[in-house]
Chains A and B, each alone.
Chain A
Amino acid sequence: MNTGFAITTGSMFATIISVANINWHGMFFAIFALAACAMAVAVVLTDNVVRMAFYLVLSLGATAGLFFLAGAEFVGAMQLMIYVGGTLVLLVFGVMLTAQAPFVSMKTPQRDWVLASILAVCLLAVLVQASVGVDAWRTAAVSVGGGVQREAPEPSATPLGMALLGMRVDNDSSGIVTPSIRSGYLLPFEIVSIHLLVVLVGAAYLARAKRRRTPRAVETAGQSELKEEVRVAS
């Protein structure tokens, strides 16, 4: 029944209509890509910092969906856990700590918008030209001839985990030529772990509560001295 419909209405429309031949990979890619791009543009266009944080959560979540579609499940899960679950919560905390009335929505001057849009158009033109310019990048590994027979990629968590431990166990089963010198990522892994520790200590040191230097500092300092006196007395 699908073939007759396809002949009459054209192959493209039939691809959309017939459930058997629909390219689910492409459809989900379209959904996630549109969500990621639209939310990223919404982050730029809105002035409210709370809404910016919300749009950023949606954009990063859609990006995680794109990672899943590209066969990088482990990185997609890490994107959801670290980025959406950790970094964005941190940003939302920052928004809440500084969300006073004049800072929630700060307008950008009109001339800055003009300059920024010129910059955006130029940058986007260069990047788009670079990304569609190479023919080898435009064709996928598996063509959708009669039905989608995309072979399922191997789970990527095990090779990635072994690579982080310094051993490469990924084989080039798909005919991809890998470099002859294969090395793991043990040293970068250790460097990143030490870096995270240093960063945590540094952030806690930088963000610790201090006495203010603003004119209100006199009052708060007086109050804290009062509290200390009370604490000593009790």
Chain B
Amino acid sequence: MNFFNILAEPVGVSHYLLVGAVLFTAGVVCMVIKRNALGVLMGIELVLNGANINFIAFGSPVLRGESTVSIGLDGQAIALFVILLAAAEAAVALAITLNFYNNHATVDVDRAEDLKG
């Protein structure tokens, strides 16, 4: 398998996409199975990072092959905005979690059923 021998072959976009896929999947599973609200938050961070890796890979000048379609600098700019928005999202989500903890004395998301019909 020449594709996986990255010591001999140059690193391509596909390798980055694979790493992004693993991070995205880990984040989705983390969001699904964690009962701690902070664990769900960490899953969201992982998902955003997986997406960021894809943006950086598609915008990178050293990874592009013969393909003529590239997003160039847009990839880095979008990744930067994603990082900033993730910071904002973490701040608000943490505030909500602390509020929930103050009101219910727990961070278990399964116990958050006040709005259940």
Q: Is B112 an interface residue (CB 8 A)?
A: no
Contacts of B35 in A (CB 8 A): 106-108
Q: Bound state CA distance, A74 and B59, in angstroms?
A: 13
Majority DSSP secondary structure for residues of B touching A: helix
Total number of B residues with any Cβ neighbor in A under 8 Å:
87
Flag if B66 contacts A91 (CB, 8 Å): no
> Of all chain A residues, which has the CB nearest B79?
A75
Flag if B73 contacts A159 (CB, 8 Å): yes
Q: Bound state CA distance, A99 and B48, in angstroms?
A: 25
Fill in one digit per residue for B24-67: 1 if any A CB lies within 8 Å of its CB, else 0. Answer: 11111110111110110111011001001100110111111111
Fill in one digit per residue for A156-200: 1 if any B CB lies within 8 Å of its CB, else 0. Answer: 100110011000101010101110000001001000100110011
A132 CB contact (under 8 Å) in B5, B14, B28 = B14
A127 to chain B, nearest CB (A): 4
Q: Bound state CA distance, A43 and B44, in angstroms?
A: 12
Flag if B18 contacts A36 (CB, 8 Å): no
On whether A160 and B80 interact (CB within 8 A), knowing A27-B7, A142-B10, A196-B88, the answer reads: yes
Q: Is A58 an interface residue (CB 8 A)?
A: no
Question: Which residue, B7, B34, B85, has most C-beta atoms of chain A within 10 A?
Answer: B7
A27 to chain B, nearest CB (A): 6
On whether A83 and B83 interact (CB within 8 A), knowing A49-B39, A98-B101, A138-B65, the answer reads: yes
Q: Which residues of B approach A to under 8 Å, CB–CB?
A: 3, 5-30, 32-36, 38-39, 41-43, 45-46, 49, 52-53, 56-57, 59-70, 72-73, 75-77, 79-81, 83-88, 90-92, 94-99, 101-108
